[in-house]
Amino acid sequence: MSGGLTDHHVHFMAAAATLLSVDVSAAADLASLVATIAGGAPPQGWVRAWGYEEWRLAEQRHPHRDDLDRAVPGRPVVLHHRSGHAAVLNTSALAEAGIPDHPDGLLVDRHDLLERVPRLAARALRQAAAATSARWESAGVSAFVDATHTNGRPEIELLAEWVASGVIRQDVTAMVGVTHIADLPGHGASVGRVGVGHAKIMPAPDDPDRLARQVGQAHRLGFPVAVHVVDIDVLDSLLGALEASPPPPGRTDRIEHNSLCLPEQVERIAASGALVVVNPSFLVHRQAKYRAELTEVERAWLIRMGSLRRAGVGLRAGSDAPVVDCHPQEMMRAARAHPFAPAESLSAAEAESLLAPAPGPARRR
């Protein structure tokens, strides 16, 4: 495809899976969340629900396993947080997952345990994938980068099969979890018609040495890195790692999200040569959260765009779907009107450039 827009940070399979889940995103409190799950549950088997954010609920907390027990008594329920970084299992689900003594059912970044939840039926997921791709195509998206940190060969081969069969209508590049890069051809190569992207790293905030080791390992194997960064301390650790280990020749590292960034970190990002992938639509959908949880000073450090561009940093944008759905026009509008820091806003042309293809090695199609 040519002439379209690129969403530079999505989680395609997770986005497709939301179409097969009970959507609780409109729930204003735990009672309505429980009622929504009860009303939308399939007649038998596991109940999969999705879309809650604790800060949107009146109780200002995550649901508890006991809350979900009330929704569908005696049946396993898994409720996914909108961010994809947490899930809550009820008592039946915890028992089937082999962790019956878990105190509250809340699993944060425990994909190892969530792997015990039965997978969605292949045919249903394929249909949901086709519907997701078609919706994004209608929004003008002709290419996307899947930034899922658990991607390995099986996930990339499935994406490649969907591209080859026309289920996915976009050009696809898929990042590879940093622990799986040895199982795949090098960065810029292809699996079928899916490009092999960056080595994706989810840092442990309290282990900067591990982050530095992973960056160095990926670079030695010829992979640039794409690192999930949502706070200042992790950004500082990453910049130290990038200063100690430059990317392989001809490659560009990526900083994903870069949610908060101090003024003095802007020049260090520029010196690193890394590309920053921001999420402008968060300024629309999470504005109330930012107002409630960040100080006025911190909001000025939020989702920088203008200052990074003026420093010479390469910028691109992603929706982070399904956290926010893939709406390129919304991303561009949000980039032109930063609600907290007008100096971080971009011009119309600069905002459009956020959805242009990213620099990188060519691959054969």
- Convert the pLDDT of each residue in 291-323 to its tens digit: 999 999 999 999 999 999 999 999 999 999 999
Options 1.10.760.10, 3.10.50.40, 3.10.310.70, 1.10.10.10; CATH for 21-114 is: 3.10.310.70
Query: Residue range 148-156: average pLDDT?
Result: 97
Residue 1 has pLDDT above 50, yes or no: no
Domain with CATH 3.20.20.140 in the chain: 5-13+122-353
CATH of span 5-13+122-353: 3.20.20.140
**Based on the number of CB atoms within 10 Å of its own CB, is 264 exposed (0-12), middle (13-18) or buried (19 or more)?**
exposed
Could you report the per-residue pLDDT of 51-87, keeping only the tens digit for each?
999 999 999 999 999 999 999 999 999 999 999 999 9
Q: What is the pTM of this model?
A: 0.95
Domain with CATH 3.10.310.70 in the chain: 21-114
Q: What does the mean pLDDT of the chain come to?
A: 95
- Determine the pLDDT at residue 360: 66
Pairing of strands 190-191, 5-10: unpaired
- Locate all alpha helices (DSSP H) within 150-305, ordered by sequence: 153-164, 208-220, 232-244, 263-272, 282-285, 287-293, 296-300
Closest CA to 188 of 1, 363, 11, 5: 363
